[in-house]
Structure 1
Amino acid sequence: MKILEKFKYCPVCGSRHFTPNSEKSLFCGNCGFEYFVNPSSANAAFIVNGRGELLIALRKKEPAKGTYDLPGGFANEDETPEEGVAREVMEETGLQVKEAKYLFSCPNKYCYSGVDIPTLDQFFLCKVDDFSPLKAADDAAELLWMPVGDIRTELFGLRSIRNGLRLFMEKYKAGI
């Protein structure tokens, strides 16, 4: 379900005259408020160790609970994508990102509570110097290392992550 389909009343004045104004907005004919749907910023980390293995998380929560994922998540308000990916990596793995190099982005729809949330997923190659604090936490049920050449994208539950992995593996083979 598209997020705009969830709104029946204007969130400002409560009017029922809250109707589509464009493909991505609703307009209140009573108070003039217009609500736009713009993508939320999300990020994912590619963390590769010295053996050419990629850090993979097992999702603890829906959506796609029990499938593979990359460390990452939504950016907070007043946070850059680089700060967001570093924070998410710390929360989910205990690792401190020393450098986050932007690689590419993919538009996505993140289905949460039965609603498709539009996102702009940004992918980063993250440098970590010390792997000793590695421990699954927050949204990660488990963490594992997987050789980049052995990755099977169909085991990853989120479409955007699968697409991102395909792009990453091409870049990785080419020497990023």
Structure 2
Amino acid sequence: MKTHPLALFRYCPRCGSAAFAVHDHRSKRCDDCGFTYYANASASAAAVVRNVRGELLLVRRAFAPHAGTRCFPGGFAEHDESLESTCLRELREETGLTGRDPIFLFSLPNLYTYSELQIHTLDSFFSVTVDDETALFAADDAAAVEWHRLSLDLLNTIALESHRSALRRLVEKS
């Protein structure tokens, strides 16, 4: 059975009433004050970086969820930034690399479980150019940064379903 995205929220954030009930598959409504809260998808962005040998840059996750598994460098958008800016910021924070010219490839929905919450995300993937690959180092929430041959053999090491789907798409187009 699928858990409602707002299952952990029992009280209305406006008036504090316990009459905060499921309204539909992504919202709750307060029967006392009429406030409706929607659990919309959280935006994230990931960088697809290839080196001069055509290898793909992946990071190994340092923390839960999915510590030790791989994913594309990326993360959640801040309130005041575009997805392109998110992509470049996360690439720099996790790998030390400065990217430029992000080109939108595709977006994929994902379910990300964190602190007992199932967060619906919309993950956008961007092709990013990096001029200096020598600045590479693991930082922020990356335990390691690795170059890999583009291959479906990586699928069982990729943490997130949207990132596995992205890898499949990249392999199909290569």
Q: Please give the TM-score of this superposition, normalised by the length of structure 1.
A: 0.93
SS of the residue corresponding to residue 58 of structure 1 reads strand
Aligned to 1:78, the other structure's residue is in SS state coil
Match of 2:12 in 1: 10
Unaligned runs of 5+ in 2: none
Instruction: Determine the structure 2 residue equivalent to 1:127.
Output: 129
Q: Output one character per residue of 1:116-139: Cα deviation in whole Å (capped at 9) or x when no partner.
A: 100001111111111121110001
**Cα distance change of structure 1 residues 151 and 50 upon mapping to structure 2, 3 Å threshold:** farther
Q: Residue 124 of structure 1: SS of its match in structure 2? A: strand
TM superposition score normalised by structure 2: 0.94
Could you list the structure 1 runs, at least 4 aligned residues long, displaced by more than 2 angstroms after superposition. Answer: none
Check conservation: 1:57, 1:142, Cα contact below 8 A: yes
Query: How many angstroms does 1:78 deviate by?
Result: 1.8
Shift in Å at residue 2 of structure 1?
A: 3.2
Q: Deviations over 1:75-125 (max 9, x none)?
A: 111211100000000100111111111001111110111211000011111
**Matched residue SS, 1:79:** coil
Verify: 1:155 aligned to 2:135, yes or no: no
**Identity within the alignment, %:** 44
Gaps of 5+ in 1: none
- Secondary structure at the aligned position of 1:148 is classed as coil
Which one of 57, 80, 90 corresponds to residue 78 of structure 1? Answer: 80
Find the aligned partners of 2:166 and 2:28 in 1 and give their Cα distance.
32
Q: Report the Cα distance in structure 2 between the residues aligned to 1:142 and 1:28, rounded to whole angstroms.
A: 45
State which of 63, 66, 71 in structure 2 corresponds to 1:64: 66
Q: Relative to 1, partners in 2 of residues 1:149 and 1:18: Cα closer, same or farther, differing over 3 Å?
A: closer
RMSD: 1.2
Distance in 1 of aligned mates of 2:129 and 2:153 = 20
Cα distance, 1:26 vs structure 2: 0.8
Q: Provide the residue aligned with 1:139 in structure 2.
A: 141
Aligned length: 172
The 3 A distance-change label for structure 1 pair 151 and 46 is: farther
**Partner residue, 1:44:** 46
